[in-house]
Chain A
Amino acid sequence: MQAFEYASPTTVKEAVDMLSSKWGEVDILAGGTDLISLMKEYLHTPRRVVNLKGIKELGGIQKTGGGLRIGATVTLDELAENSTARSEYQSLVRAALGVSSPQIRNMGTVGGDLCQRPRCWYFRQGFGILGQDKSGASLVVNGENRYHAIFPQPPAYFVSASSLGPALIALGAKVKIAGPSGSRELPVERLFVAPRDSSSREIALASNEILTEVIVPSARGVRNTTYEVRQKEALDWPLVSASVALRMKGSTVTNARVVLGHVGPTPVTAAEAEKALAGKALTQETATEAGKAAVAGARPLTGNTYKVQLARIAVQRALLEAVKLRG
């Protein structure tokens, strides 16, 4: 790890002032579960690290106007233990509990889950966010891609590592972002972006901005859950996840949100599956059809066709699980 200077401001304004207008110079430390490993690998070599955990206003979970406000430094463990989250946002609790291990959930934060860097092994070995060789050819396309995107957005073939992202998108959540000129809000689906070049980032934050909180609308009456398919039970990222949020009238779906995780450089909204469900009763058959619709547009790479089936089944199972749960 390269030496850095460390700061632990107590207000968001102070923290923003300590950031840099250029990527790479300053890193934000929340739980550190990703950043510290990135620094040990010299993938991040900041000159300054700004700790956010001393900023009180970035913590805590509050009910607001029917919805939920989750501070960026709330740990995944706190989220999973929160009584409102447990009764109303099964989708978020499942996604949080799916994260790796108790040790990671105790340190890792909500903001950190959204802002963590991709797990692509080419990126982690120093070949850049796009995993390219010196000529610009994709190492992913021509190499080992079993865990990569089945919904790639060339030249980006990695998968978004966020567990909460798909659930938050399905629930219609927004993030609040603080920067030098004040704060702004962004729907979670617009937080994630597929980089077009190797100097771009995979989230829509500027280098001098901080994700400060997540605002989740009320999910009362919205049947929601997350279903993950994993290779290992712990210490791993899901191969595929599906988050669903369903508004129902009796057994009929009036509005469906279906979002896939770990299948593309951003969470992937399965618009075809949502359309296939609208106005229909949710049954084994319609859930199966929605699963098929969700992956109809998949473009797997040489080594990850198996993920198409996993995604199809994840959507089907998430839907069936959601209707068995109380909304």
Chain B
Amino acid sequence: MSKHQDELDPKTRKAGFSRRGFIRGVGATGGALGGAIWTEEEAQGAQGAVKTAGPGAVPVTLNINGKEHKLNIEPRMTLLDACRNQLDLTGAKRVCDRATCGACTMIMNGKVVYSCTVLAIDAQGKQIQTIEGISAGRPHAVSVAFVNNDGQQCGYCTPGFVMAAKGFLDRNPNPTYEQVKSGLGGNLCRCGTYVGVRKAVLEAAKAVKGGKNA
């Protein structure tokens, strides 16, 4: 949830503001914050070697498309929101925001994930690839295959589908039709363009083998 939206949200507004105000006021970071929201007894566990971050904004470094980005965000911010709202990487879409549609799909350490359901702070140290990263300069073979095979109608699911397809083909370079079907099972298209999408993935498999965007 973006900072802007959270501040509009009556459920979090009070807690969020008061805590942020407190943090700013004492200028505390990390484990020292424990006392702000815990009683002394409760905070004892946190006072050991383990540092805590937040609940206010903390420095977070993300490696996206081979580039390091330094952010100052709350631990509750998802990877998707960090990309869309902080880094202007708006290719991944926020649709269901509940890990059930695939429009936010990114590739993290070589595996497809729902970026709406990964905390940005938890994605530190990982290699993150977004649709912007695979299509820099010229369209990726998967994107080209989507165009050639009418793999989209309204196009809203397309960036997620292209990333899911790329992640799938990276692991399954010679897929059967059935494997394509189940391999892309984590992405929904409300226009129902699945036939085109599956054809596109099979075509992209051949193109990738032919040396285009291997």
Binding site for B on A (CB under 8 A): 1-10, 14, 17-20, 25, 29, 32-33, 36-37, 39-40, 42, 47-49, 51, 53, 77, 100-104, 106-107, 233-235
B97 and A2 contacting across the interface, CB-CB below 8 Å: no
Q: Which residues of B contact A7 (CB under 8 A)?
A: 46, 50-53
Q: Enumerate 5 A-B pairs (CB-CB under 8 Å) in ascending A order.
A: A5-B33, A17-B46, A36-B117, A102-B185, A102-B186
Tell me the bound Cα distance from A102 to B102 in angstroms. Answer: 10
A14 contacts which of B49, B75, B118 (Cβ < 8 Å)? B49
Instruction: Report whether B1 and A40 are in contact in the complex, using a CB–CB cutoff of 8 Å.
Output: yes
Closest-CB distance, A117 to chain B (whole angstroms): 13
Q: How far is the CB of A123 from chain B (nearest CB, A)?
A: 15
Decide if A4 touches B167 in the complex (CB within 8 Å): no
Is the pair B183, A37 in contact by a Cβ cutoff of 8 Å?
A: no
Residues of chain A within 8 A of B113, CB atoms compared: 103, 106-107
Q: Is the CB of A102 within 8 A of B167?
A: yes
**Contacts of B77-132 to chain A: CB distance below 8 A:** 78, 97-100, 102, 105, 108, 111-114, 116-119, 121-122
> When the two chains form the complex, which single residue of B45, B75, B105, B186 contacts A6, counting CB atoms closer than 8 Å?
B75
Chain B residues, CB < 8 A from A3: 6, 12, 15-16, 19, 54-56, 74-76
Partner of A103, one of B34, B53, B97, B186: B186
Q: Does chain A have a CB within 8 A of B207?
A: no
Contacts A3-B54, A14-B48 known; A33 to B38 CB distance under 8 Å? no
Nearest 10 interchain pairs by C-beta: A101-B186, A234-B185, A6-B75, A3-B55, A17-B45, A106-B111, A103-B186, A5-B52, A7-B52, A5-B54
Chain A residues in 8 Å Cβ range of B187: 101
Residues A4 and B75 in contact, CB atoms below 8 Å apart: yes
- Candidates B15, B16, B118, B185; contact of A101 at CB < 8 Å: B185
Partner of B119, one of A36, A47, A102: A36
Contact B117 A19 (CB under 8 A): no
The interface centre, meaning the residue of A17, A53, A77 with most chain B CB atoms within 10 A of its CB, is: A17
Q: How many A-B pairs with Cβ below 8 Å?
A: 136
Q: Is the CB of B112 within 8 A of A47?
A: no
Say whether A49 contacts B112, CB under 8 Å: no
Q: What residues of B have a CB within 8 angstroms of the CB of A33 in the complex? A: 99, 114, 117
Which residues of B lie under 8 Å from residue A9 when comparing CB positions? 50
Cβ contact within 8 Å between A100 and B186: yes
Contact, CB under 8 Å: A47 / B54: no
Contact of B11 with A by CB under 8 A = yes
Interchain CB contact (< 8 A) of B75 among A5, A20, A77, A235: A5
15 other A-B residue contacts (CB within 8 Å) besides A4-B76, A33-B99, A36-B119: A2-B76, A6-B52, A7-B46, A9-B50, A14-B48, A40-B97, A49-B75, A53-B122, A101-B185, A102-B168, A103-B102, A103-B114, A103-B164, A233-B182, A234-B185
The one of A2, A19, A42, A101 in contact with B45, judged by C-beta atoms closer than 8 angstroms, is: A19
Chain B proximity of A282: nearest CB distance (Å) = 29
A9 and B46 CA atoms in complex are apart in Å by 10
What sequence of 0s and 1s flags, for each residue 1-43 of chain B, a beta carbon within 8 Å of any chain A beta carbon? 1000010000110011001000000000000011001100010
B208 at the interface (CB under 8 A from A): no
> For the complex, is B144 an interface residue (Cβ under 8 Å from A)?
no
- Give chain B residues whose Cβ lies under 8 Å from the Cβ of A4: 54-55, 75-76
Is the CB–CB distance between B48 and A32 below 8 Å? no
> Which residues of A lie under 8 Å from residue B56 when comparing CB positions?
3
| Residues in B neighbouring A234, C-beta threshold 8 A | 182, 185-186
Q: Is B71 an interface residue (CB 8 A)?
A: no
Which of A29, A40, A42, A107 sits near B114, CB closer than 8 Å? A107
Nearest B residue to A10 via CB reads B50
CB distance from A214 to the nearest CB of B (A): 22
Given A2-B76, A6-B53, A7-B53, residue A18 in contact with residue B100 (CB < 8 A): no
- On whether the beta carbons of B99 and A103 are closer than 8 Å, the reply is yes
Min Cβ gap A30→B in Å is: 10
A103 touches B76 (CB 8 A): no
Is B188 engaged at the interface, CB distance under 8 Å to the other chain? yes
Partner of B100, one of A40, A47, A51, A235: A235
Of the residues A2, A49, A100, contact of B11 by C-beta under 8 Å: A2
